[in-house]
């Protein structure tokens, strides 16, 4: 077996997805976690469309769908009465093959990813902690403490996916500025029955209360999230029994069994950098924010995919190491924007003053359902929440415009019956997409560059997706368009690839 070239610290969803992509791309690695095993409680819940698209590329989407629950509706409740219903079943129809939000508890999510890693020959090293590291001769020497005692090991790169208290971030002396919300929050997993045990997401509001109820695992299991009542917030210890009766009245349910309960404070922070030499940060090690919109875990997974294919390309000699500079440039800007927007949204919903009460009693139950009646608003909201709207137009790895698509944009999806332009993305390779016809000069250039070229028929649906007939779209391994050219000029394509010395794998057909 090859010597591990990458050390991943942290076996949450971010680290597990990074390990999956690196393993699929043929990179030897180790993944460690200081905990004794996978999480036992469901924390993050939402699996967004962009994450499912990434999972499709590595053969995991169908199993995630099988284990999860598709959110059909968002029901808005006010003081125990249903006030509005929003249909989420096909919220993003035509935008993604997954036009919905899926709920899958994080602990089940992690077990699935760990099972897949084991099938790829990668075992998570539990009870193993990163205690320090330093640079030495173009490598990272990491000090690890595990069940066999202390050891040192060399790696070419270290990826810190180890959460808010990241040893990788602290060891790199990277600041983590931000703050916290004054409110104290609770989370509980319960077995229950009642009106809000309906398989949908229930958003419950009152002048001084905010709570969410999600379906998990089975139809009788519910995840509850909300603000600890002000009269209890100052207490060091708060039990579910003290909060439960008020929740039952607010949510119209009857709790049969409490499986897990915890209180916590929410923070909003973004690391000053996502890279320090050969050390990279991803997920909660680099950014943490409110749970509004179900973005946290999905953003970490997006970090993992973005970094993994770039590391693999550099380690296999298929790209210049400067390619790795684009990781921070692409992901830190999105993280800062996400923290700023979710912070404003969350603060507005939970603040205890008159503005917060108006948002809870008027803004959310009346204005949002009205706005989401309009198709353009619904589609824009889906792109935002699903993360299918993420683009890297200002990245050094993005160039050109053709039709409505710019370099840096996510490749628009065109599905059956005309074609399925996401199917070729399973190769995890650079590829050329043409919608129309490819000229002979471009065909020769693709063969010289050892790039797969996929030619799709031109039709009305393709045009509506934003493509230009016969234009060239060079697609990155993560499904983002890197280069768009309205003509078929092979020299422009060569010039772009030369910028980062990008070459297709020797094994490419």
How many angstroms separate the CA atoms of 103 and 113, rounded?
Answer: 16
- Given a cut of 50, whether residue 507 has pLDDT beyond it is no
Does one domain contain both 427 and 338? no
Report pLDDT digits (tens) over 480-490.
999 999 999 99
Residue that is last in its domain, among 390, 413, 444: 390
240 in any annotated domain: yes
The answer to whether 387 touches 48, Cβ cutoff 8 Å, is yes
* Three-state SS letters, 480-505: EEEEEECCCCHHHHHHHHHHCCCCCC
How many angstroms separate the CA atoms of 299 and 283, rounded?
Answer: 7
The answer to whether 423 touches 429, Cβ cutoff 8 Å, is no
Does one domain contain both 194 and 99? yes
The answer to whether 472 touches 402, Cβ cutoff 8 Å, is yes
Closest to 59 in 3D by CA, of 310, 388, 427: 427
pTM: predicted TM-score of the whole model, two decimal places? 0.92
Q: Which residue has the higher pLDDT, 43 or 427?
A: 427
Report pLDDT digits (tens) over 9-31.
999 999 999 999 999 999 999 99
Unique residue bearing structure tokens 């808010």:
164
Does one domain contain both 422 and 480? yes
CATH number, domain of 209, equals: 3.30.9.10
CA 200 from centroid of its chain's CA atoms: 22
Does one domain contain both 412 and 491? yes
Does one domain contain both 314 and 447? no
The backbone torsions φ and ψ at residue 278, rounded to the nearest 5 degrees and listed phi first, read -95, 10
What is the chain's mean pLDDT, rounded? Answer: 88
Does one domain contain both 55 and 141? yes
At residue 349, the pLDDT reads: 59
At residue 403, the pLDDT reads: 97
- Given a cut of 60, whether residue 129 has pLDDT beyond it is yes
> What value does the mean pLDDT take over residues 276-285?
97
235 in any annotated domain: yes
Does one domain contain both 186 and 246? yes
The answer to whether 92 touches 386, Cβ cutoff 8 Å, is yes
> What value does the mean pLDDT take over residues 258-286?
93
Does one domain contain both 46 and 114? yes
The answer to whether 309 touches 316, Cβ cutoff 8 Å, is no
At residue 356, the pLDDT reads: 55
At residue 508, the pLDDT reads: 41
- Given a cut of 60, whether residue 234 has pLDDT beyond it is yes
- Given a cut of 80, whether residue 466 has pLDDT beyond it is yes
185-194 and 253-264 beta bridge pairing: antiparallel
Q: Which residues have a Cβ under 8 Å from the Cβ of 114 and sit 6 or more positions away?
A: 11, 16, 38, 124
Does one domain contain both 74 and 139? no
509 in any annotated domain: no
Residue that is last in its domain, among 328, 362, 390: 390
Domain that holds residue 22: 6-66+106-177+268-345
Residue that is last in its domain, among 390, 418, 445: 390
Total of domains in the chain: 3
Q: Which residues have a Cβ under 8 Å from the Cβ of 507 and sit 6 or more positions away?
A: none
CATH number, domain of 55, equals: 3.50.50.60
The answer to whether 403 touches 397, Cβ cutoff 8 Å, is no
507 in any annotated domain: no
Q: In this prediction, what percent of the chain has a pLDDT beyond 90?
A: 60
395 in any annotated domain: no
> What value does the mean pLDDT take over residues 64-84?
83
At residue 221, the pLDDT reads: 84
At residue 277, the pLDDT reads: 96
486 in any annotated domain: yes
Report pLDDT digits (tens) over 332-361.
999 998 877 766 666 655 555 555 555 555
Does one domain contain both 192 and 337? no
195 in any annotated domain: yes
295 in any annotated domain: yes
Does one domain contain both 339 and 361? no
At residue 251, the pLDDT reads: 82
At residue 408, the pLDDT reads: 98
Burial class (CB in 10 A: 0-12, 13-18, 19+), 506: exposed
Between CA 97 and CA 106, with CA 103 as vertex, the angle to 5 degrees is 120
Does one domain contain both 445 and 482? yes
CATH number, domain of 454, equals: 3.40.30.120
């Amino acid at each position: 077996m090859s010597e591990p070239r990458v050390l991943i610290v942290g076996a949450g969803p971010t680290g597990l997805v990074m390990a999956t992509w690196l393993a699929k791309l043929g990179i030897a690695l180790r993944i460690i976690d200081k905990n004794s095993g996978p999480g036992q409680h469901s924390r993050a819940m939402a699996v967004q469309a962009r994450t499912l698209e990434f999972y499709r590329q590595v053969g995991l989407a169908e199993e995630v769908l099988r284990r999860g629950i598709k959110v059909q509706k968002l029901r808005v409740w006010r003081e125990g009465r249903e006030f509005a219903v929003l249909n989420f079943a096909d919220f993003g129809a035509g935008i993604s093959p997954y036009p919905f939000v899926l709920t899958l508890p994080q602990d089940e999510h992690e077990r699935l990813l760990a099972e897949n890693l084991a099938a790829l020959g990668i075992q998570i090293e539990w009870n193993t902690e990163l205690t320090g590291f330093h640079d030495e001769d173009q490598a990272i020497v990491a000090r690890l403490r595990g069940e066999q005692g202390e050891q040192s090991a060399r790696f070419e790169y270290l990826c810190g996916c180890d959460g808010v208290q990241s040893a990788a971030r602290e060891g790199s002396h990277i600041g983590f500025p931000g703050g916290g919300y004054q409110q104290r929050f609770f989370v509980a997993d319960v077995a229950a029955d009642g009106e809000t045990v309906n398989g949908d997401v229930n958003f419950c509001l009152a002048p001084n209360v905010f709570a969410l109820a999600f379906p998990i695992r089975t139809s009788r299991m519910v995840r509850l999230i909300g603000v600890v009542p002000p009269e209890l917030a100052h207490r060091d210890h708060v039990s579910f029994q003290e909060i439960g009766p008020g929740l039952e009245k607010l949510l119209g349910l009857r709790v049969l069994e409490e499986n897990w309960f915890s209180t916590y404070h929410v923070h909003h922070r973004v690391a000053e950098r996502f890279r320090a030499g050969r050390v990279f940060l991803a997920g909660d090690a680099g950014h943490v924010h409110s749970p509004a919109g179900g973005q946290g875990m999905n953003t970490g997974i997006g970090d993992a995919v973005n970094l993994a294919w770039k590391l693999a390309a550099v380690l296999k000699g298929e790209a210049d190491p400067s390619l790795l500079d684009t990781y921070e440039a692409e992901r830190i800007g999105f993280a800062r924007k996400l923290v700023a927007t979710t912070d404003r949204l969350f603060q507005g919903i939970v603040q205890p003053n008159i503005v917060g009460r108006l948002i809870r009693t008027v803004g959310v139950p009346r204005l949002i359902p009205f706005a989401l009646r309009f198709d353009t608003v619904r589609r824009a909201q889906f792109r935002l929440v699903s993360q299918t709207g993420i683009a890297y137009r200002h990245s050094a790895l993005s160039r050109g415009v053709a039709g409505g698509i710019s370099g840096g944009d996510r490749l628009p999806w065109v599905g059956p019956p005309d074609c399925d332009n996401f199917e070729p993305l399973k190769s995890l390779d650079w590829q050329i997409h043409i919608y129309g016809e490819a000229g002979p000069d471009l065909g020769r250039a693709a063969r010289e560059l050892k790039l797969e070229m996929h030619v799709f028929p031109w039709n009305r649906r393709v045009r509506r997706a934003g493509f230009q007939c016969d234009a060239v779209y060079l697609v990155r391994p993560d499904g983002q368009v890197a280069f768009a050219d309205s003509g078929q000029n092979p020299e422009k394509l060569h010039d772009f690839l030369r910028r980062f010395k990008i070459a297709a794998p020797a094994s490419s057909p």
